Structure 1
Amino acid sequence: MKTVFCSHFLLTSIPSQNLVFSDPDQNKALQGHYVFKAKIYDVDGNITSDQSTFVLGGKVYGLMGTDELRRDLAVGILWGTPLALFIGITVSIGSVILGLVYGVFAGFKGKTTDEALMRFNDIIYAMPALPLLIILAVTIGNSIFLIVGFLVIFGWVGIAKVSRSMAMQIKTLQYIEASKLMGQKDFKIIFKHVLPQLLPYTFASIAISVPAAITTEAGLSFLGLGDPTFPTWGQILHDASVYGAAERGLWWWILPPGIMIAITGLAFVFIGHAMDAIVNPKLRR
């Protein structure tokens, strides 16, 4: 009876993947050569196997641990860094430039043109961005380039409102009135005299807009709507959620991408506030 109890205790304490190759009474691997045979069937008969490896019990660890497929998470974090910067900087530059030109043109022209353009801006601004992004990702596609385009479409409206109000103040200055009296066209005045005055605001807005783009893309990827062919931080968190990393205590699968998203967002927020304080003397007091 005592032997049965010990054997049962040893059997339940040994992982199943190790139990196949060990003596349950001693919990030691049996000596000898192990041969594994696998039969693979294919219709065409053109099966090839290159660099096959056998992993037992997940005893493969990278710098930050591995995921369910034994992939080194450190490699995913490193590859996700340029992707996050590409998404954040591209979306912020595109949305700021689009909103800047749109708002300055509306504010400079005024009257009916300004009214029509700003009503369209209000329509886009009132639309719920995240549900529409989910619908567009499901219906049109979830390519990373399409996601960047979708984020630009919904990211320019706030910039347009601010740049419009600034353009309405600039167009009342004397050198703008002088340019009109000299016969310069509106487009030339806008690109030569008005937009250069808004460049400091433009650089600060680009820096501040980067975290929003990164977190939005990470949210879409976490919901399973991102591009699965790119190892973004949101895609890593999505895989962690699918395989139950939190329930299994695999903290190394959750914390590194989450920390990288937070650090990157905070860094660009600090950069944006520093640039805003430089170009806006009132914030220095």
Structure 2
Amino acid sequence: MTTGVTPPADARGADARGADVQGADARGADAQGADARGADARGADARGADAQNAAAQDASAQDAAAHAGPRRPAWQRRRRAAARFWRQYRTHRAGLAGLAALVLCALLALTAPLAVGSDVAGVTDAPGQPLAPPSGRFWLGTDRYGRDLLGLVVWGSRVSLLVGLLAAVLSVAIGAAVGITAGHFRGAYATVMMRVTDWFLVMPTLVLAVALTAVLPRSLGTVILAIGVTTWPTTARLVRAQTLAVEARPYIERARALGGGHAHVMTRHVLPNVMPLVLAQTTLMVSSSILTEATLAFLGLGDPTVVSWGGLLQDAREAGAVSAGDWWYLVPPGLAIAGVALAFTLCGRAVETVLNPRLGVAR
């Protein structure tokens, strides 16, 4: 029978102390590892903070650069918008034809003093015989005073275009102001302004214009005023509807919450959004203003001291050109009025289609 040998007590104590030393070494190693990991974490945090600071500095630099030169980006945006508008406008053949006709008419009006001379409207030294038919010397014939009708038509384009443009601008300005304020301010003000607009809508525009020109002194300013203050209700209705749609958008509420007043909201937020509609309406109003001016002049309510297309038609009526068969006295100014009105209408439709593609007007 084999008996086990028991190790001495000193050996067991030495082994225990060795195990304790190894445990202490292991704990020390763990502590060193923990310290190292903590140092790594602190280093990572420091690197993250440095990265955040660098990103913040970059963002601040970008903001400073953006605020340092706001004019150039705004100009570039406007230029790109104009280029985009022209690219879309060129796709409308009718609009291009109308624009070409308007450019030609504008050049004739601007060069009229050089092309036909300022004495073309003179009666005392008329170069031809009264009511002479078209010939090699007078391509469109002469009027009842012996004046060249071609020169009179070219000279009359200055007055007709000027009155049409100014009357259209006045009409659209009144309509836009009424529409924006009526759409922005609710309550009694909007109700009163819309009832006034409805009253002007149901009243015949020509009758009101005739009444104003009959009461006021006969001049170009009176004609412009009479046309402008009687043709604004349609624009007011359209602009008010667009203003109500813009005012319902969320950024209007944010602007008001940030302290934006009525003037700020209407001029900085509402007006830029209704300007495309105003531009298209202005182009369309020029044609109707030219027709109204010609009608007033034909009725003898225009300025008798200037030559206009409507005034030429009124002279032809007084001279009995209709009954006498003097067609050359009636056709040139009539075609000029119809052609310019058609050209402005074509341009207006094209502009309206480009600015509001949902209309889907044929090209």
Q: 1:146 aligns with which of 222, 229, 243?
A: 222
Q: 2:311 aligns with which of 230, 235, 240?
A: 235
Q: How many residues align?
A: 235
Q: Distance in 2 between matches of 1:56 and 1:199?
A: 52
* 1:76 Cα deviation from its structure 2 partner: 1.1
In the alignment, structure 1 residue 123 sits paired with structure 2 residue 199 = yes
Q: Distance in 1 between matches of 2:274 and 2:256?
A: 20
Higher helix share: 2
- SS of residue in 2 equivalent to 1:71: coil
Letter in 2 for 1:246: V
Cα distance change on mapping 1:131 and 1:190 into 2, 3 Å: same
Cα distance change on mapping 1:171 and 1:57 into 2, 3 Å: closer
* 1:54 Cα deviation from its structure 2 partner: 9.5
Q: Distance in 2 between matches of 1:171 and 1:207?
A: 26
* 1:137 Cα deviation from its structure 2 partner: 1.8
| Preserved contact between residue 140 and residue 328 of structure 2 (Cα < 8 Å) | yes
Q: Distance in 1 between matches of 2:291 and 2:311?
A: 12
In the alignment, structure 1 residue 171 sits paired with structure 2 residue 278 = no
State TM-score, norm by structure 1.
0.78
Q: 1:213 aligns with which of 283, 289, 312?
A: 289
Larger Rg: 2
| Preserved contact between residue 129 and residue 142 of structure 2 (Cα < 8 Å) | no
Q: 1:136 aligns with which of 212, 219, 225?
A: 212
Cα distance change on mapping 1:184 and 1:109 into 2, 3 Å: same
Letter in 1 for 2:171: S
1:113 corresponds in structure 2 to: 189
Q: Distance in 2 between matches of 1:114 and 1:148?
A: 27
Letter in 1 for 2:292: T
Letter in 1 for 2:148: D
Cα distance change on mapping 1:81 and 1:114 into 2, 3 Å: same
1:244 corresponds in structure 2 to: 320
State TM-score, norm by structure 2.
0.61
For structure 2, the 5+ residue unaligned runs are 1-123
- SS of residue in 1 equivalent to 2:297: helix
Cα distance change on mapping 1:57 and 1:266 into 2, 3 Å: closer
For structure 1, the 5+ residue unaligned runs are 1-50
Q: How does 1:1-285 map to 2 (within 5 A)?
A: 62-284=138-360
Identity %: 32
Cα distance change on mapping 1:228 and 1:145 into 2, 3 Å: same
